[in-house]
Amino acid sequence: MKLIFDKSVPGRRAVRTTDLALGNPIPIDKKMLRDEPADLPELSELDVMRHFTELSRKNYGVDTGFYPLGSCTMKYNPKVADLVSQFPGFADLHPLIPQLPGGEVMVQGALAVLKETDRMLSEICGMAQFTMQPLAGAHGELTGAMIIAAYHKHKGNKKTTILIPDSAHGTNPASAAIAGFDVKTVPSNEDGVIDVQALRAMMDDDVAGVMLTCPNTLGLFNHHIKHIADLVHSVDGLMYYDGANLNALLGHCRPGEIGFDIVHVNLHKTFGTPHGGGGPGSGPVGVVERLVDFLPTSVVCAHDDGSYYLDYDRPRSIGYVAPFYGNFAIILRAYTYMLLLGAEGLTRVSENAVLNANYIMTKLKDYYDLPFDKICMHECVFSASRQAADGVRAINIAKALIDRGFHPMTVYFPLTVPEAMMIEPTETESKETIDTFIEAMIEIAQQVKESPEKLLACPTTTPVGQLDETLAARKPNVASLGQSECPDA
């Protein structure tokens, strides 16, 4: 496919800068004019439409195909949630309105959404209250770590350390470090979960808290979680719940009831809103009752008459962590999703997610190494070590999936599994789609034995072929769209 500049023809136009009705030139601010003409492509409107339509067809999205990305929950997002977020009463609001005299009267609906989402998330997670401000999961982690720091400072505790398992998301230690803590890694045991004996040996008065993903990034639930919480609380530490995998527990287990004090929830993963990918996210943070005073300001509260207002009088608050009140349109989508499904529907979400993951694990474990052969939760992790012995690594299997019409799974994470392939089917995929993915994975495993050289050449169906990953990361050539133009093809 040619670049749009290569399609340019001198003198060709798609737009005229005149008022079509009156024939008058459109007024242009002189400050916007350049001394030299901008070097823009010259095309007709049809040329432009066809170019960008063709580009869009090269995109891969959840509306066009299956994403088996582990730990990312790339599921289909119901369009009704997008529709509600576009209602003029919400979409046309300006975020500064509440700060104007009497402005809160004009945004009662928006404040109600924030407050009711807080209450629903609190019920789901067993927390006392949530803040809607954090703009992503990692931002929620940082907010939670700041709350941990504020809690210990208020109590006069001289605590410096956060303990994090070796299977954690990489943002966990980063968030704790930014909040001012030293980070120590707790190893996993032979069952793939945090080693309780090692944790006990590291538990001392310096420990401010423990950050855990539950279930963990191997898709395994730690049955010793209550005992772990008791250990942490015995030194006045706090338990932090990384909610990236909450869709595995919805309706069946509330983090607050198994010992967690702080929770972040990835609304853009669990509750049917667009997942990150450079776009907006939302990572609300919930806390137990004794930590409510430390939540970011402002907090949505209710008057006696049932109307809502923003409370800024929070002397123990960690302050603002984001402008305004969070990514409101994402919160609104999650609010719609929760109302749409209700308690029974959210419970079925977790049941279907767990069923789909275990179905894949059972069907593929004869073809790929399974480091922990036990019932998983919403995702499963295989190892391509068997294939690597024949010269085909996890990255090659991932690229072979591209040629078969699938987005690759997560590879080389978690770090505790060599040649890791992390697969999360989510609850929204049908059995037919999952069966097609399983067939592709089996075909790849068989091809490793029959013609591995073909796998090593993948992908062969994409505009750009196989790259030198290191060189592509350090010296990207975004202009080379054709395989023949790519020096690393």
Residue-wise pLDDT for 285-328, tens only, equals 999 999 999 999 999 999 999 999 999 999 999 999 998 888 99
Q: Can you tell me the distance from the alpha carbon of 241 to that of 211, in angstroms, rounded to the nearest whole number?
A: 6
Which one, of 378, 368, 370, 379, lies nearest residue 444 by Cα? 368
Q: What is the CATH number of domain 350-459?
A: 3.90.1150.10
pLDDT attached to residue 29? 64
By the 8 A CB rule, do 75 and 246 touch? Answer: no
* Six-digit token string for 343: 């308690």
* Mean local confidence (pLDDT), 208-212: 98
User: How is 245-292 classified by DSSP, letter by letter?
Assistant: TGGGTTTT--GGGGT-SEEEE-HHHHSSS---TTS-----EEE-GGGG
Q: Can you tell me the distance from the alpha carbon of 28 to that of 275, in angstroms, rounded to the nearest whole number?
A: 39
pLDDT attached to residue 465? 85
User: Which of these ranges, 24-38, 138-152, 271-285, has the smallest mean pLDDT?
Assistant: 24-38
Domain boundaries, the chain: 1-59, 79-340, 350-459, 460-489
Q: Can you tell me the distance from the alpha carbon of 46 to that of 68, in angstroms, rounded to the nearest whole number?
A: 36
What's the topology of domain 79-340?
Aspartate Aminotransferase; domain 2 (3.40.640)
Residue 468 pLDDT > 90, yes or no?
no
Alpha helices in 79-136 (DSSP H): 79-85, 88-91, 103-106, 108-125
* Mean local confidence (pLDDT), 55-81: 87
**61 vs 458, residue with greater confidence:** 458
* Mean local confidence (pLDDT), 356-365: 98
pLDDT attached to residue 32? 61
- Long-range CB contacts for residues 361-370, cutoff 8 Å, separation at least 24: 363/438, 363/442, 364/438, 364/441, 364/442, 367/441, 367/442, 367/445, 367/446, 368/421, 368/441, 368/445
Q: What is the CA radius of gyration of the chain?
A: 26
pLDDT attached to residue 95? 85
Q: Can you tell me the distance from the alpha carbon of 116 to that of 124, in angstroms, rounded to the nearest whole number?
A: 12
Residue 27 pLDDT > 80, yes or no?
no
Amino acid at 287: V
pLDDT attached to residue 21? 52
Residue 484 pLDDT > 70, yes or no?
no
User: Which of these ranges, 83-97, 113-127, 178-192, has the smallest mean pLDDT?
Assistant: 83-97
DSSP state of 19: -
Q: Can you tell me the distance from the alpha carbon of 160 to that of 183, in angstroms, rounded to the nearest whole number?
A: 9
Residue-wise pLDDT for 72-103, tens only, equals 888 888 899 989 999 999 999 998 898 888 88
**76 vs 413, residue with greater confidence:** 413
Which one, of 428, 396, 394, 429, lies nearest residue 414 by Cα? 394
By the 8 A CB rule, do 145 and 338 touch? Answer: no
Residue 366 pLDDT > 80, yes or no?
yes
By the 8 A CB rule, do 281 and 327 touch? Answer: yes
Residue 482 pLDDT > 50, yes or no?
no
* Mean local confidence (pLDDT), 340-365: 97
* Six-digit token string for 116: 């009711």
User: Average model confidence (pLDDT) for the chain?
Assistant: 91
